[in-house]
């Protein structure tokens, strides 16, 4: 949703908004604002490259593989480098982790370190780059729990409930940055005319119940019976209670987590990447995909579950561990958990 340059005159910038949010947090030092500014700068640079990728001939594969064993798209690599370079010198971080890096990303010796931990998926949904489908950047911020100049993997392996902030940038029909510090969720649309993010979605609240489900039904033969019964239930019209029949849920699936989650956050409903016979832990990564999205969803009044428990309560054991994900409107996620219990 691009509302034109009206934002540029009356709009609240991301920086102003974060400063105001910071003022509400006792003891906040402004460190946060600096870190967010660096993340926003990286988003603008990535956005610029994503928008011109087709012209710049950087689509397609570099031929190398990332830690997930997936072909690394040139844009993936570029986005990863931009994010790391944008934040490593600011003195706000003690350690980073990225989908594109097997181990932790250390702060170079020439730079100061700080009290935060940043984990990210630099360009989620990158397999959609060549077909011009929305992609995104996802980030998660924790406070460090170790002492010493550099952070360690232990600083990264914290429960999602201890995040101090999380967010994503969706490179879609417009470029929107959505973030939360835990209490509320806000969206900012990039005004390309001035290169600033302006408040466009204040205090996002997800509907308690929706009418859209989002799952890759190509995997349905691999699903447990309870999961199939859940999907069938949403496809079945229910009586309205006044003698008329309701309508079934609609199915929407982009295949890009940021796009499917952004729609779910704004319109309600549920997105799921379940565990199945092929992926016993699901496909999505806990630390830099499921946990930040769960943080945002709960802050907006929704829910996020592994199918049997709260995503934000999962105790991580490795940087790239996968987790099943059911996320969206609270009543829809609760229904999924009910059907999964009925194995």
Distance CA 145, CA 158 (A): 9
User: How open is the CA angle 276-272-119, to the nearest 5 degrees?
Assistant: 100
x/- letters, 107..126, toward ligand P6P (CB under 6 A): -----------------xx-
> In Å, how far from its chain's centre is CA 59?
23
Nearer to ligand P6P by Cβ, of 127 and 184: the residue is: 127
Smaller CB separation from ligand P6P, 94 or 327: 327
CA-to-CA distance for 268 and 325, rounded, in angstroms?
16
Which residues face 120 on adjacent strands?
A: 98, 139
Pick the closer one to ligand P6P by CB: 208 or 277: 277
Q: How far is the CB of 326 from ligand P6P (least distance, A)?
A: 13
Binding test (CB under 6 A) with ligand P6P, winner from 48, 81, 127, 184? 127
By beta-carbon proximity to ligand P6P, the closer residue of 257 and 297 is: 257
Min. distance of Cβ 136 from ligand P6P in angstroms? 8
Among the candidate windows 13-21, 55-63, 167-175, 256-264, which touches ligand P6P by CB under 6 A?
256-264
Q: Which stretch binds ligand P6P (CB under 6 A): 36-44, 55-63, 188-196, 252-260?
A: 252-260
Nearer to ligand P6P, 158 or 264 (CB): 264
- Closest by CA to 286, choosing from 252, 245, 249, 324, is 324
Burial call 14-30: b when 16+ CB within 10 Å, e when fewer: bbebbeebbeeeeeeee
**Rounded to the nearest 5°, which phi and psi values hold at 258?**
-65, -40
**Would strands 135-143 and 116-124 be described as parallel, antiparallel, or unpaired?**
antiparallel
Specify the pairing of strand 165-171 against strand 93-98: unpaired
Which C-beta is closer to ligand P6P: that of 152 or that of 216? Answer: 216
Single out the residue of 42, 82, 169, 257 in contact with ligand P6P (rule: CB under 6 A): 257
Residues within window 200-219 making contact with ligand P6P, judged by CB under 6 A: 216
Instruction: Enumerate residues 259-318 that contact ligand P6P by CB under 6 A.
Output: 260, 273, 283
| 192 part of the interface to ligand P6P, by CB under 6 A | no
Q: At residue 174, what are phi and psi to the nearest 5 degrees?
A: -135, 170
Nearer residue to ligand P6P within complex by CB, 192 or 316: 316
Alpha-carbon gap, residue 181 to 179, rounded angstroms: 7
Backbone dihedral region of 109: left (phi > 0), alpha (psi from -120 to 50 degrees) or beta? alpha
The C-alpha atoms of residue 247 and residue 260 are separated, in whole angstroms, by 21
Total site size for ligand P6P, rule CB under 6 A: 10
Smallest gap from Cβ 320 to ligand P6P, in A, equals 12
Contact 315, 159 (CB under 8 A): yes
Q: Which residues bind ligand P6P (CB under 6 A)?
A: 124-125, 127, 216, 255-257, 260, 273, 283
């Amino acid at each position: 949703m691009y509302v034109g340059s009206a934002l540029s005159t009356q709009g609240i910038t991301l920086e102003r908004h974060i400063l105001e949010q910071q003022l509400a947090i006792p003891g906040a030092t402004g460190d946060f604002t600096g870190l967010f500014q660096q993340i926003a700068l990286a988003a603008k640079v990535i956005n610029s490259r994503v928008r011109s990728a087709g012209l710049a001939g950087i689509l397609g594969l570099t031929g190398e593989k990332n830690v997930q064993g997936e072909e690394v798209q040139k844009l993936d690599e570029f986005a990863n480098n931009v994010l790391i370079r944008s934040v490593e010198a600011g003195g706000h971080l003690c350690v980073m982790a990225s989908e594109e890096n097997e181990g932790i990303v250390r702060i170079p010796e020439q730079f100061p370190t700080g009290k935060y931990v940043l984990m990210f998926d630099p360009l989620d949904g990158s397999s959609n780059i060549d077909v011009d489908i929305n992609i995104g950047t996802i980030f998660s911020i924790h406070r460090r729990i170790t002492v010493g100049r550099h952070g360690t993997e232990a600083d990264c392996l914290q429960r999602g409930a201890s995040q101090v902030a999380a967010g994503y940038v969706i490179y879609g029909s417009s470029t929107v940055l959505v973030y939360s510090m835990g209490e509320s969720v806000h969206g900012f649309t990039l005004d390309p005319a001035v290169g600033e993010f302006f408040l466009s979605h204040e205090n996002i609240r997800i509907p308690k119940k929706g009418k859209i489900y989002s799952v890759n039904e190509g995997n349905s033969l691999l699903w447990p019976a309870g999961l199939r019964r859940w999907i069938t239930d949403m496809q079945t019209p229910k009586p309205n209670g006044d003698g008329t029949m309701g309508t079934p849920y609609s199915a929407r699936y982009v295949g890009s987590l940021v796009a499917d989650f952004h729609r779910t956050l704004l319109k309600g409903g549920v997105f799921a990447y379940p565990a199945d016979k092929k992926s016993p832990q699901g496909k999505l990564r806990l630390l830099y995909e499921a946990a930040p999205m769960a943080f945002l969803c709960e802050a907006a009044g929704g829910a996020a579950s592994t199918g049997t428990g709260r995503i934000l309560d999962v105790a991580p054991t490795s940087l790239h561990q996968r987790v099943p994900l059911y996320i969206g409107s609270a009543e829809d996620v609760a229904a999924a958990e009910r059907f999964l219990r009925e194995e």
